[in-house]
Amino acid sequence: MKMFVSAELLDALKAAQGNVSDYRIAQILGVKQQTVSCYRRGLAQLSSEKVVLICEMAGLNAGHWLLRMQLERAKCDSEKAIWNDLLYRLAA
């Protein structure tokens, strides 16, 4: 099963909050528990604002995660290549 960037971010937030439940994660993010489930399954994507919030709360590099989200959302190979290049440059 594919692991979506949203699910990775939710797991990082969960760990940073002491391994709380998805229900508590939903409360923190101001969404329904069903929405968190959709994020995990790739049926919905976190907004940029939510990504930044999660990164701030989990001590993560928001730029890295925003680029990964864009890479995952990319529709064509040329767009993926651009986001991947930027992600590589950020890591350097």
Summarize the confidence of residues 40-45 as an average pLDDT. Answer: 92
The predicted model scores a pTM of 0.87
Amino acid residing at 6: S
Alpha-carbon gap, residue 14 to 36, rounded angstroms = 12
At 2-35, the pLDDT tens digits run 779 999 999 999 999 999 999 999 999 999 999 9
Listed by start position, the domains of the chain span: 5-91
Distances (CA, A) of 73 to 21, 51, 84: 27, 14, 12
Give the pLDDT score at 23: 96
Query: What is the residue-averaged pLDDT of the chain?
Result: 93
The C-alpha atoms of residue 65 and residue 86 are separated, in whole angstroms, by: 12
CA distance 82 to 50: 23
What number does CATH give the domain 5-91?
1.10.260.40
Q: What is the pLDDT of residue 22?
A: 94
Tell me the percentage of the chain whose pLDDT exceeds 70.
99
